[in-house]
Amino acid sequence: MSPNLRTFAIICCVALLALNSASLFAFANQFHLYFLGACLVLALALLAVILVSPGKAPEPEHPKAEAAKLMPVPAAGNQAEAEVVGFLATLQERGRLVDFLMEDITTYDNAQVGAAARVVHEGCKAALREHFQIRSVREESEGSSVTIPVGYAADEYRLIGNIRGAGPFSGTLVHRGWKTEGVKLPRIVRVDPDRLPAIAPAEVELK
């Protein structure tokens, strides 16, 4: 993973930790769904980073001096990184996600935070539906009894409680899970190949 993608992933992880930490406070109970929606957006952004992150190319067999002449100097950001930034820009444009996460919400009351979270939720949900084919891992209602077969996909289930043997496992569905069956990130035309595009331009009113 390139340094820029790694930085973006770290930012998403920190934001996820902040949202989950905020949800532990009593005042955040009424905004639980909004916090959950924002966490989903960030988790999918991390998924996008993983999907578009190019694999590491094998080392060339040329001598080091010759390889140095043959290998081009990498640009500041590649096309995959630009498309990740493009999707983040879409979340900002449609749901003001970056504004919401970068703002210090401790200075606002619950009503103001709730109003802002509603805008983030509605806009980011529309952007997710446009660029990801999302559906739940399990269709049953939460609280239902379910059976997980042998050979289940390890990334689609998190088993908690008393785990014994190799399955099948029976238990209570705590969360239905989410997965995506298709990704269509916005295509970015690189204006300057030496830098990544802006997430949102600075707006200046001229006099």
pLDDT in tens, 51-94: 555 554 444 544 444 443 444 434 445 778 888 888 899 999 99
* Interatomic CA distance for residues 73 and 144, integer angstroms: 55
> Among positive and negative, which fits the CA dihedral 115, 39, 91, 33?
negative
Q: Residue 60: is the preceding peptide bond cis (ω within 30°)? A: no
* Interatomic CA distance for residues 81 and 50, integer angstroms: 11
pLDDT recorded at residue 65: 43
Residue where the block lists tokens 């905020």: 22
Q: Go through the chain and tell me how many residues it has.
A: 207
H/E run at residue 183: strand 178-183
- Is the pTM here over 0.85, yes or no? no
Task: For residue range 96-135, list pLDDT tens digits in order.
Answer: 999 999 999 898 999 999 999 999 999 999 999 999 999 9
pLDDT recorded at residue 62: 47
